Amino acid sequence: MPDLYAVIGNPIHHSKSPIIHMEFARQTHQDIQYNAILAPLEGFAATVSAFQQKGGKGLNVTLPFKQEAYTLSIRLTDRANAAQAVNTLKFDQNHPILGDNTDGAGLIRDIEVNQEIPIAGKSILLMGAGGAARGVILPLLERKPRLLAIANRTQTKAQLLQAQFSSHGQIVSGHFQDFSGESFDIIINATSASLQDKLPPLPTGLFKETTLAYDMMYSRNLTPFLIFAQQQGAHHLADGIGMLVEQAAESFYVWRGIRPETRKIIEMLKNNR
């Protein structure tokens, strides 16, 4: 019998995780079965328990359940604790539920390996102060950027994140317009604006020709954020496909102790949007 894994969320029909993880399994010769599970909005814990009782070994957790997964976890990795959100659950008969967050590791690997841009010494603007942003702040600061700026519509949310992570590196916060006139080496869109096909309220002048414009979201065409970045002169554009695959690879490593190769899968997904 193959070991059981799945991604759980609501909605879930759009998820590429089953394709990614079954390709990882084929590549690494691991005997697993990976499915997608639609959990009722009020029934996350019960759905997880039912999956465990069937012998499930691990779950990827997507919207809107990452905070509930954090609460459900008995043990937490440092990165999950910092993010206060969990996207990977590991079940082991001999240990309590382990909660991890692989989003930050996926982002870092996509930027530094796939985009070939070292983060150390760079100035970074992180747009958004929700769960997506929270999950990547500590991993970004661990790479020793010169500056990490957090911009958000609600400035107090950005200030709370600044206070939480200020001991880990040089970090500032403010409203989007507070950074008018400044330019950055890397600008990351961690807001949900691209999901609504909208552009965050960005001032002009943030982008240099050499700036990496990175949108955590992905779509068939360029997102409004990436179109804006291109119009502002940025030549290096990237969406979240690479991060999606890399965070999945990190989850696979947490579960199986094997790190799969990712580049071919990223290219496959890009070519089959």
Q: Of the candidates 116, 115, 187, 185, which has an alpha carbon nearest to the alpha carbon of residue 146? A: 185
β-strand pairing of 75-76 with 95-100 = parallel
62: annotated binding-site residue? yes
73: annotated binding-site residue? no
Q: Of the candidates 86, 47, 80, which has an alpha carbon nearest to the alpha carbon of residue 65? A: 86
Q: Which whole number is the average pLDDT over 79-83? A: 92
What is the reported pLDDT for 150? Answer: 98
82: annotated binding-site residue? no
What is the reported pLDDT for 271? Answer: 87
> Which residues are catalytic, by number?
66
Residue 194 pLDDT greater than 90, yes or no: no
CATH of region 3-101+242-271: 3.40.50.10860
What is the reported pLDDT for 210? Answer: 97
Please state the three-class secondary structure of the chain as a single string.
CCEEEEEEECCCCCCCHHHHHHHHHHHHCCCEEEEEEECCCCCHHHHHHHHHHCCCCEEEECCCCHHHHHHHCCEECHHHHHHCCCCEEEEECCEEEEEECCHHHHHHHHHHHHCCCCCCCCEEEEECCCHHHHHHHHHHHHCCCCEEEEECCCHHHHHHHHHHHHHHCCEEEECHHHHCCCCEEEEEECCCHHHHCCCCCCCCCCEEEEEEEEECCCCCCCCHHHHHHHHCCCCEEECCHHHHHHHHHHHHHHHHCCCCCCHHHHHHHHHCC
> What pTM was estimated for this model as a whole?
0.93
94: annotated binding-site residue? no
Residue 131 pLDDT greater than 90, yes or no: no
- Output the six-digit token pair for 197: 């096909």
Phi-psi region of 255 (alpha: psi -120 to 50; beta: other; left: phi over 0): alpha
103: annotated binding-site residue? yes
**Given this chain, do its domains 3-101+242-271 and 104-109+117-239 carry the same CATH topology?**
yes
Q: Which of 67-71, 130-134, 135-139, 267-271 has the lowest mean pLDDT?
A: 130-134
What is the reported pLDDT for 192? Answer: 85
Peptide bond into 200 cis (omega under 30): no
At position 270, the amino acid (one-letter code) is: K
Q: Comparing 21 with 14, which gets the higher pLDDT?
A: 21
CATH class of 104-109+117-239: alpha beta
28: annotated binding-site residue? no
> What does the pLDDT look like over 221-245, one tens digit per residue?
999 999 999 999 999 999 999 999 9
155: annotated binding-site residue? yes
What is the reported pLDDT for 220? Answer: 86
Contact 233, 208 (CB under 8 A): yes
- Output the six-digit token pair for 246: 């890399």
Residue 197 pLDDT greater than 80, yes or no: yes
152: annotated binding-site residue? yes
What is the reported pLDDT for 213? Answer: 98
Task: Using pLDDT thresholds of 50, 70 and 90, give the confidence band for residue 205.
Answer: very high
Domain boundaries, the chain: 3-101+242-271, 104-109+117-239
189: annotated binding-site residue? no
